[in-house]
Amino acid sequence: MGMTLGGIAAIGAGASLYAMKKSWDPLPSVISAGFTTVDLSPMDSGELRTVEWRGKPVYILKKSADMSKCADRDVQVGNDDYSVGVQICTHLGCIPSYIPANQVFKCACHGGEFDACGKNTFGPPPSPMEIPPFKIDGNKLVLGEEGPEYLRLVGKA
Amino acid sequence: MAEIKKADGLVDWLDQRIALRTLTKVLLTEYWIPKNINFLWAMGVVLAVLFKILVISGIFLMMYYKPDINLAFDSVNYTIMQEVEYGWLWRHLHAVAASAIFLVIYIHMFVAIYYGSYKRGREVIWLTGMLLFMTFSAAGFSGYMLPWGQMSYWAAAVITNLFGGIPLIGEELVIWIRGNFVVADATLTRFFMLHVLLLPLAIITIIALHFYALRVPHVNNQDGEILDFDAEADKYKAGNKKESKVIPFWPVFLSKDIFVLSAFLVGYFYLTFFHFNFAMDPINFDPANPMKTPAHIYPEWYFLWSYEVLRGFFFSSDLGLVAFGIANVIFLLLPWLDRSPVVAPAHKRKGFMIWFWLLIADLIVLTIYGKLPPTGINAWIGFVASITFLALFFALPFITKAEAKNASKGA
Amino acid sequence: MRDLKALIIVAIVTGIIYWGVEPLAHGIMHPPVKAAEYDYKDTPILPKGDVANGATLVQTNCVACHSIKSEGFEAPMSDLDSANSYGVVPPDLSTAGSMYHEGFLAGFLKDPVKATNLSHKFTDSKPYPMPGYSWMSDSDIADMVAYLRSIAKSDLSGKEIFIDACARCHSLKYDKVFSSTPQDIVSNYMGSTPPDVSMMIKSRGAKYLHTFINDPQKLLHGTAMPKVGLTQEAEKKVVDYMESIGDSKKEERESLGVKVIIFTIIMTIFAYLWKVKIWRDVH
């Protein structure tokens, strides 16, 4: 009987823990604010834009004709190629700045470099900049949702 | 230091280092409680569990609460009540437990008075218990301010104003307590600190003292009988469990407490989910407005009796304040106001029995009239009840002195 | 037996205190008032109206100030300009016909001050922003009401009714509804700031809200809030909407409550059985 009572109390404790876990979850307002929509139509070729998505900087680079293309990382919208990535150095989390003249991202912290595709080309960064989940909606890019193009890129990379 | 040997298991390993087996005996299996008790002896465990519920629900409320006059109301009523998953549950549990804990404190306290458990070596238990009542009152009051509704604001304004009645320093004291000339952001933030840090810390410390104070004089029993705990414990350990007048804390005493606790929780959860308005006054769902006092303001039910002692002297706020001051400390002095050495339940002490039920009746009248608007006849009833309250405590030494005389004659 | 006696005494004392501080005290502090009435008896009984004539009358008399967006009549001024001119933004009339009681509408067209029960606020020297149309015949009034009823959709949601009937003065910020009249202007017009009503379902309760919306003077004598004149159905939708925002977890609370209580009862039964088993050895 003591064991049965203990078991029942344990069920109660488990249910309470479930409620506690749920209370720690991000609020619905945080989740619904986790999507950023970017209209790509006004962008010029060769232009870089940085938008905020879930508190992090995400760059969008519309590639000009003289930039190298990478099939495994570029996002095609219409007839244009875009490079999209979380603009955070994969070494220790600093934000690399884009230098248009050289078409590279250069990190001030430890000198890491990434090319226009977001791939690490020099210094300590161990991997290319991360591609955020996105969905293409006409001429718009919706960050935070996993569209088929995103899944294709991630599957390939 | 004893020699550390290779342990034959976790329990033994711990036993060698922190005397686990001795500790278990001292705290649980050989902590002796009288057998001659009723369900009212379970109130201590009920209180401990309610306090635990308050701490846990409080932790979750604190994760989203914002102690700022511009954010507090919405952080409670929107973020916690509508957005956070189960946020409403923590708030309801917290508010209802805060109210219920006072009901159980009062039961616990009057059981001690009824059975004479505050004297003959048990004075420190009584004193720490009354200190807990006071710290819980402060915690209840400071917590009530946090949602920053109309009742929060006006209760804070009125109660902090009380200190203004203290001669000489009153006016400056009020400003010092508030951190502003009126109840304002500084007041909210410091009361938040008191509510979530200083008062819980004090409460936990006093609870430890309260428990410790029980060890030497032991728990009282239904008849005030003096037990030889060592001899009775030996009988129990020798297997004479039926004959022994004591039981171990674990599992025998707690098995009864857990049953009482579970039954109590049924009622508590009913209040939490379906009948919470008595603990979460609807008026407090109007945001604080320093420019407009609600038509009726009153404290939570557990402060009503002392509030009525304050209001009872409706013709003089100074007298009211003095009476209120006395009402708040008089219970502390009970072991010394009772001049009789007799430790027995009130129904075996004739004069004390009458005193006890008069006190209960008076407190009921004070509580009810503390909520009713103090106009017309109500003001007079409140006045008479307040005078009666003071008179009862004035009469207690005489009543008990007479009892002591009779007792010594009888002996 | 002693336990039972002690329990009964504790229950009686607790019960008396509860009765005194809750039902008794609240009964004295909030004396009962007459329940809400939805038949608007003091307004004239209307002859059956002619929609076509009503359309002409409304379009010549009303659209100078009011918009009727569903019929393509846009507001003649911006909200800010009209609030500055009239004190409060005039309502759009697209939905008036279905959410307001027809008797109230007729009474309002004839004499707005009387219909809204605001004679303490509006006088000849400080007239109501909308003129009364008591110079019209009862049949013309009936025609206008008939027209308004003919254009209004009947299945309005609580939120739509709230926006059209309440949100010219009141905000409900927990659902991001903000008053169309700017706060300072409406405060000036009403004499005090109309409160945000997000939490009114909690602070007042559904019963109070129904009586209050139906006739505010009954509960708050001298208030500047007009009698709203909603039909019983529309008023219920508004109050339900306020509950869905201000007490959004009600359903979850009640269903979880039943489960928790059943669980605790089961636990109590097993706790009792265990206690009996343990105490068998010592008694």
- Report the distance separating Cα C164 and Cα C69, nearest Å: 12
Output the pLDDT for position B290.
92
Domain for residue B217, yes or no?
A: yes
pLDDT digits (tens, 9 = 90+) for B154-200: 999 999 999 998 889 999 999 999 999 999 999 999 999 999 999 99
Does the structure's ipTM exceed the value 0.90?
A: yes
Give C17→chain B minimum CA distance, Å. Answer: 6
- Report the distance separating Cα A54 and Cα A130, nearest Å: 14
Looking at the structure, tell me whether residues B251 and B283 fall in a common domain: yes
Output the pLDDT for position C228.
92
Q: Does C198 touch chain B (CB under 8 A)?
A: yes
pLDDT digits (tens, 9 = 90+) for B216-239: 999 999 999 999 999 999 999 999
In this prediction, residue B346 has a pLDDT band, given cuts at 50, 70 and 90, of: very high
Does C203 contact B282 at a Cβ distance shorter than 8 Å? yes
Looking at the structure, tell me whether residues A141 and A97 fall in a common domain: yes
> C72's torsion region: left (phi>0), alpha (psi -120 to 50) or beta?
left
Looking at the structure, tell me whether residues C185 and C268 fall in a common domain: no
Domain for residue C168, yes or no?
A: yes
In this prediction, residue C43 has a pLDDT band, given cuts at 50, 70 and 90, of: low
Q: Which of B294, B309, B332 is the last residue of a domain?
A: B294
In B235-267, which positions are buried (b, 16+ CB within 10 angstroms) versus exposed (e)? bbeeeebeebbbbbbebbbbbbbbbbbbbbbbe
Looking at the structure, tell me whether residues B276 and B302 fall in a common domain: no
Q: Does B304 touch chain C (CB under 8 A)?
A: yes
Q: Does B84 touch chain A (CB under 8 A)?
A: yes
Looking at the structure, tell me whether residues A39 and A22 fall in a common domain: no
Looking at the structure, tell me whether residues C223 and C280 fall in a common domain: no
Furthest C-alpha separation in chain A? 79
Looking at the structure, tell me whether residues C198 and C262 fall in a common domain: no
Domain for residue C69, yes or no?
A: yes
Residue from B66, B86, B262, B272 whose CB has the most chain A CBs within 10 Å, to mutate: B86
Looking at the structure, tell me whether residues A77 and A124 fall in a common domain: yes
pLDDT digits (tens, 9 = 90+) for C63-80: 989 999 999 999 889 999
In this prediction, residue A152 has a pLDDT band, given cuts at 50, 70 and 90, of: confident
Type of residue at B335: P
Does A23 contact B90 at a Cβ distance shorter than 8 Å? yes
Does A28 contact B83 at a Cβ distance shorter than 8 Å? yes
Looking at the structure, tell me whether residues C165 and C256 fall in a common domain: no
In this prediction, residue A157 has a pLDDT band, given cuts at 50, 70 and 90, of: very low
- Report the distance separating Cα C65 and Cα A145, nearest Å: 46
Looking at the structure, tell me whether residues A46 and A73 fall in a common domain: yes
Looking at the structure, tell me whether residues B176 and B302 fall in a common domain: no
CA dist B233 → B21, B37, B220, B221, C250 (Å): 18, 16, 16, 15, 53
Closest Cβ opposite residue B247 in set C16, C196, C282 = C282
Looking at the structure, tell me whether residues A22 and A38 fall in a common domain: no
Q: Count of domains in chain A?
A: 2
Q: Does B88 touch chain A (CB under 8 A)?
A: no
Domain for residue B60, yes or no?
A: yes
Across chain B, what does the average pLDDT equal? 95
Structural domain of C271: 250-283
In this prediction, residue B397 has a pLDDT band, given cuts at 50, 70 and 90, of: very high
Looking at the structure, tell me whether residues A11 and A77 fall in a common domain: no
Domain for residue C60, yes or no?
A: yes
Domain for residue C40, yes or no?
A: no
pLDDT digits (tens, 9 = 90+) for B255-306: 999 999 999 999 999 999 999 999 999 999 999 999 999 988 899 999 999 9
Q: Count of domains in chain C?
A: 2
Domain for residue C20, yes or no?
A: no
Does C267 contact A4 at a Cβ distance shorter than 8 Å? no
Looking at the structure, tell me whether residues B340 and B410 fall in a common domain: yes
Looking at the structure, tell me whether residues B338 and B359 fall in a common domain: yes
Domain for residue B7, yes or no?
A: no
Looking at the structure, tell me whether residues B342 and B401 fall in a common domain: yes
Interface of chain A toward chain C, CB-CB under 8 angstroms: 1-2, 4-5, 8-9, 11-12, 15
Looking at the structure, tell me whether residues B286 and B359 fall in a common domain: no
Looking at the structure, tell me whether residues B356 and B287 fall in a common domain: no
Q: Is C149 helix (H, G, I), strand (E, B) or coil?
A: helix
Output the pLDDT for position B396.
97
Give A79→chain B minimum CA distance, Å. Answer: 43
DSSP characters for C3-48? HHHHHHHHHHHHHHHHHIIIIIHHHHHS---PPP--S-TTSPPPPP
Nearest-Cα residue of chain B relative to residue A17? B56
Residue in the block written with tokens 């203004």: B164
Output the pLDDT for position A31.
85
pTM for this entry = 0.91
CA dist C133 → B339, C101, C110, C137, C208 (Å): 84, 18, 5, 9, 32
Position B1 pLDDT exceeds 60: no
Looking at the structure, tell me whether residues A62 and A6 fall in a common domain: no
Looking at the structure, tell me whether residues C178 and C283 fall in a common domain: no
Structural domain of A20: 2-27
Closest Cβ opposite residue C205 in set B88, B273, B282 = B282
Structural domain of B304: 298-411
Domain for residue B30, yes or no?
A: no
Looking at the structure, tell me whether residues B248 and B126 fall in a common domain: yes
Give C169→chain B minimum CA distance, Å. Answer: 17
pLDDT digits (tens, 9 = 90+) for B324-339: 999 999 999 999 999 9
In this prediction, residue A156 has a pLDDT band, given cuts at 50, 70 and 90, of: low
- Give the residue-averaged pLDDT of B397-411: 88
Domain for residue B13, yes or no?
A: no
Looking at the structure, tell me whether residues C92 and C211 fall in a common domain: yes
Domain for residue C163, yes or no?
A: yes
What count of CB pairs under 8 Å joins B to C? 131
Q: Does B86 touch chain A (CB under 8 A)?
A: yes
Looking at the structure, tell me whether residues B68 and B146 fall in a common domain: yes
pLDDT digits (tens, 9 = 90+) for C148-165: 999 998 899 999 999 999
Position B411 pLDDT exceeds 70: no
Sheet containing strand A134-137, strands side by side: A36-39, A140-143, A134-137
Looking at the structure, tell me whether residues B276 and B316 fall in a common domain: no
pLDDT digits (tens, 9 = 90+) for C216-258: 998 998 899 999 999 999 999 999 999 999 999 999 999 999 9
Looking at the structure, tell me whether residues A98 and A143 fall in a common domain: yes
Does B63 contact A28 at a Cβ distance shorter than 8 Å? no
Looking at the structure, tell me whether residues B143 and B92 fall in a common domain: yes
CA dist B369 → B305, B317, B318 (Å): 8, 17, 20
More reliable by pLDDT, B345 or B411: B345
Looking at the structure, tell me whether residues A14 and A42 fall in a common domain: no
- Report the distance separating Cα B75 and Cα B287, nearest Å: 12
Looking at the structure, tell me whether residues A53 and A100 fall in a common domain: yes
Looking at the structure, tell me whether residues A116 and A86 fall in a common domain: yes
Position C9 pLDDT exceeds 90: yes
- Report the distance separating Cα A114 and Cα A96, nearest Å: 8
Closest Cβ opposite residue A1 in set C263, C266, C274 = C274
Domain for residue C172, yes or no?
A: yes
CB contacts of C274 in chain A (<8 Å) are 1-2, 4-5
CB contacts of C21 in chain B (<8 Å) are 278, 301, 304, 367-368, 371
CATH number at residue A65: 2.102.10.10
Looking at the structure, tell me whether residues C101 and C190 fall in a common domain: yes
pLDDT digits (tens, 9 = 90+) for A23-54: 999 998 888 888 889 999 899 888 999 999 98
Looking at the structure, tell me whether residues C233 and C256 fall in a common domain: no
Domain for residue B243, yes or no?
A: yes
Position A72 pLDDT exceeds 90: no
Nearest-Cα residue of chain C relative to residue B297? C29
Domain for residue C17, yes or no?
A: no
Position B110 pLDDT exceeds 70: yes
> Which residue, B306, B311, B131, is CA-closest to B204?
B131
B neighbour chains, 3+ CB pairs within 8 Å: A, C
Residue from B73, B93, B221, B273 whose CB has the most chain C CBs within 10 Å, to mutate: B273
Output the pLDDT for position A67.
84
Q: Which of B294, B327, B361 is the last residue of a domain?
A: B294
B43 neighbors B104 (Cβ within 8 angstroms) = yes
Q: Which of B261, B294, B327 is the last residue of a domain?
A: B294
Q: Count of domains in chain B?
A: 2
